[in-house]
Chains A and B, each alone.
Chain A
Amino acid sequence: MKELSLEVLGWLGYLERPAVMLQLALIVAAVVLTRQMRRRRWLGRWPLLGYTPLGLGLLAALALLLQKLHQPHGLCALWTWLWLGWYSLQLLSQQLLRWLPQERVHQIETRLLRPGYLVMSALVMINELDNVQDVALAWLIQRAVGMSSSRRKALELMLRYAVVTLGLIAVAIHLGLNTTALIAVAGGLSVGLGFGIKEVFSNFVSGLWLLFEGSVRPGEVLMLDGDPCEVRKLGLRATLLWRDRDNAELLIPNQTFFTEMATTYTASDRMRRSQVSVGAAYHHDPESVIALLEATARQVNRVLPNPAPKALLLSYGDSAINYALRFWIANPMDNVTICSEVNQAIWHAFKREGIEIPFPQQVEYSMVWPPEQHLPNTGNH
């Protein structure tokens, strides 16, 4: 809010400029003179509505004079146009009196035309003082109000629904629908909300809440049943997610995210730590295996150099020492393909360095019946 106030206060600095002060003085003089002329009826029988064109003519002449003298005159010209517009509203009201009763015309003039024109004039003046096109002001207002783009979108949606609802009610009333009947319908709807369309309403509210909270936004990557999915669209009933594994698009009801835990890799950054597991034979030195695994991961293109890949000895298994290789990737959606690349690189590195990946082996042999007659290691089976 402070920045916005400073921006607006900054416009006062233009008052230091003689050219601006001169134009403002001429504008004030023309307006005051016109009012005095009209109040004191300087021109005798001249109609009251005819005084404003005299003032307009005077101001336009002054603007032209400034232009001739190569002096800034844009403010005088702008005020002339705005004043002319205001005067045109008066003339329009006179015309409307032919078709509408005076009270109705007065209502239209005071509630619609004049406030609308004043707002438009204020915007034109602001545009003259500041460059509205560069969104400086819009940006400052957004910052002053502290509204993020997702909240703005949520507010926009809520406003849209509110306007549509109010519009429908207004149309219904205009068509002569009994308000008691409307209340009865609303009562029926609340019963319906309680039973039939509870889920729809719940999803609707969850969707708005998620938009406000900003926790599920298009572009986010969420884990769903162990698969990374990208949020494509946040609708009012359901969220559209895209699953890379099978190129499927999933429509998940909004209340799922509202009521259940969700894992995201993109809340504060898009990095993800990933892991592959591998076993190496017992006779290899664990330190050299760990060093080889880390070096291998560093050579895979899409593995991030920072934070650096880390290999760990996890456990002593039945037939191998189990290692884990942990590394960071930039895009969580690429996890499966990058893991595949890392696994392939490990296979090649192990082959090159002569490191064995053992696997459990079984030896089958037939027994002699009865077991007492079975002689092990004698070759009779």
Chain B
Amino acid sequence: MLYLAIATNPDQTIDGEVLEAYRERLGLLESDFKALHPNTRFQFALYPWNRIEAAMQHRTGAGLGPDLLLVNGMTAIRLLEAGLSDPYPMTPEQAMDFEPAELDRLRDRHGRLAGLPVLLNTQLACFNSTRLQQAPRTMGELLTISAKGHPIGLSLNVYELIWSAGSLGALPALNQAATGQMPSKESLNGLERWLAWLQNANTYQRITFYPDQETTDREFQAGRLDWIPCQSTALNRLRSKLGSALAVAPLPSGEGGEASPLNQLRLFALGKNSSGAGRAQALAFANFSITPLSQRNLSLGSQTVLPANRFVGIPTNSSKTLAAMAVAAKQGQQVNTLTKQLHNNLDRVERTQSVINALVFSTQSPVAGGQELVRIFRGQR
């Protein structure tokens, strides 16, 4: 028996539908693995990533922790540092399959590897192709289509909004502040431009901010929205309701540059409580999941994730979805440093969220909001 714990987006209510989606996705790997290890059985549980640490603390304390955890990079590092997972024993041959810089980001301060990268979830633009012929390619086009009567939905969640920071030129200021520097005047202008855009967007009649991504997805599914940013993992769920009307594209760029979607690299981390046989099975399954054939099957079969193995090609010509995801993967590299900074300090995320909320609801000006964000990212109270 292989016990698996999977971290999910806290925005997403864990219900039967979500469970079924994960079961299907895991099934892609499971059936092939069972051909080699017929006696293996899987049991998995889902936890929102912001509560997984507490849950693992409790379960590991009772000896009932999972054998494998499918989590994002920063959660894996936090679990390793809290003694709730074991470092991953990656062989030099396996290490060749990944970018060395990427692996370095997955190491804790003692240099231990927090997990084995398996797949990449990306953030995309989802639109209703029966109403929109093509997705907006720039932030200007996004406003134009909304002015033409196409309703647009955005989640207020900072993780879901950070893509627009790249498009509007706020990333240099945030990156400088995150490394403790005072942003230059030019960078600060970019930051204020982003915040002003967010504030103005809420005044547009056809742009609506929703409290979380789940609500945004639900409105889109119901046909009340024509364009939303969406997670690639939600595509199957959206497609089940919208059918062929669902189309995807990369998120729009802007005067500040390319969009900066917050993609999530998912890793297999090793649990603490496994028996000898359980650990051997966990390692066998994790190693199997990064073989080129498994990675390709996982990506092509689901059409919602990209392979983590850098030597596995993505047939972008055959699928618009995969092509958009490949673009998003490239765009997302801009925020790797920032993501690490955000994840390492959850208090920082909460304070940033408060600033975004205050801005969108016009209780704070973009200038004051920009200064506040610089203070937060520089670690000042």
| Partner-B contacts on A (CB < 8 A) | 6-7, 10, 12-14, 16-20, 23, 72-75, 78, 128-131, 133-136, 138-139, 142-143, 301-302, 304-306, 330-331
Contact = CB atoms under 8 A, between A and B. Distances in A.
Nearest to B58: A74
B45 A331 contact: no
A143 B131 CA distance: 37
Interface stretch (B12-20, B114-122, B185-193, B304-312): B12-20
B14 A134 contact: yes
Given A139-B15, A330-B223, A131 B273 contact: no
A235 to B, nearest CB: 23
A135 B14 contact: yes
A330 B19 contact: no
Interface stretch (B60-68, B87-95, B370-378): B60-68
Contact of A136 (B3, B46, B223): B46
Interface stretch (B209-217, B248-256, B274-282): B274-282
A142 B19 CA distance: 13
Nearest to B43: A10
B62 A75 contact: yes
A135 B15 contact: yes
Interface in B192-223: 223
Given A75-B63, A135-B16, A139-B16, A17 B45 contact: no
A331 B46 contact: no
Contacts of A136: 19, 45-46
Nearest to B130: A304
Contact of A17 (B130, B244, B278): B278
Nearest to A7: B43
A78 B47 CA distance: 22
Nearest to A331: B223
B41 A72 contact: no
B148 to A, nearest CB: 10
20 contacts: A13-B1, A13-B43, A16-B1, A17-B273, A17-B274, A23-B62, A72-B61, A72-B62, A72-B64, A73-B62, A74-B59, A74-B64, A75-B62, A75-B63, A128-B62, A130-B45, A134-B14, A135-B19, A139-B16, A305-B130
A72 B223 contact: no
B62 A134 contact: no
A135 B273 CA distance: 24
Contacts of A128: 62, 64
Contacts of B131: 301-302
B277 A134 contact: no
Interface string B107-135: 00000000000000000000000110000
A68 to B, nearest CB: 13
B3 A13 contact: yes
Given A7-B43, A16-B278, A134-B19, A330 B130 contact: yes
A136 B15 CA distance: 8
A136 B3 CA distance: 14
Contacts of A139: 15-16, 19
Contacts of A305: 130
B41 to A, nearest CB: 7
B26 interface: no
A304 B128 CA distance: 11
B277 A131 contact: no
Contact of B46 (A131, A301, A304, A306): A131
Contacts of A143: 16
Given A12-B1, A134-B46, 4 more contacts: A13-B1, A72-B61, A75-B63, A301-B131
A302 B226 CA distance: 12
Contacts of A331: 223
B62 A330 contact: no
Given A6-B41, A134-B47, A142 B63 contact: no
Contacts of B63: 14, 17, 19-20, 23, 72, 74-75
Nearest to A329: B130
Interface in B8-30: 14-16, 19
In the A-B complex, list the 7 residue pairs whose CB atoms are closest, starting with the nearest.
Answer: A74-B62, A13-B1, A72-B63, A19-B63, A131-B45, A139-B16, A10-B43
A30 B92 CA distance: 49
Contacts of A134: 14, 19, 45-47
Nearest to B16: A139
Contact of B273 (A6, A72, A304): A72
